[in-house]
Amino acid sequence: MIEPTLGPGDTSAWVAAFHAGGRATMHDLYRDYFATVDAAVGRVLAGADKETVVHEVFFKLISSGDQRRRFRGGSFDAWIATVARHQAIDHARRMGRERSMPADRVERYMTAAGGVDEDASARVLIDRFRAELPEAWRPVFDLCFLRQLPQRDAAAKLGLARTTLAYQAHRIRARLRRFLVPRKDAP
């Protein structure tokens, strides 16, 4: 079990191992603190959004030394719960700003005066975006975004856990947003 509190009398061996991101330390971290992160995120989100954020928290800790170095001692339980809650709040805010177009408007938009040139332009744009995706995410993009399959059906078809597919779809949506509407301050 990971040391829950590191006070002045404790050695900093665990903190050093955590900052280094050792495989065994990260394994223990996930096993021992999954319930803590899940509960903290669950106070803000539910369902696939909750699962996505829980995995994002651990992904950031595993992949980012900078994120791990933000913990400098004290109650690790409180620290990781705070990190998870903030991640959940940020996710909820982002999702709150997104609005789906009603299905009848999508249908009208798709069938309205679209000529061959516009169809070809759309295909080129889709192909360009698809080429920028990691290879493993392309089937998710094809099934969820182009064919509009429900996540459960797409996950079954690809042989993925639905939470894995939901996470990838979330990341694809963020990339698609940046691809279609680049930030003004970006070069």
pTM above 0.85, yes or no: no
Q: 5 forms bridges with which residues in the sheet? A: 75
Residue 124 and residue 44 share a domain: no
Nearest by Cα to 79 from 163, 11, 2: 2
pLDDT digits (tens, 9 = 90+) for 59-103: 999 888 888 989 888 888 899 999 999 999 988 888 776 666 666
pLDDT at 116 over 50: no
**Res 75: pLDDT:** 85
Q: Are residues 65 and 15 in the same domain?
A: yes
Residues 6+ positions from 151 with CB-CB distance below 8 Å = 48, 144, 162, 165, 166, 169
pLDDT band at 124 (very low <50, low <70, confident <90, very high): confident
Would you state the pLDDT for residue 54?
92
Has residue 161 been placed in a domain?
yes
Domain span including residue 11: 5-97
Give the chain's domain count. 2
Amino acid identity of residue 33, one-letter, is Y
**CATH classification of the domain holding 126:** 1.10.10.10
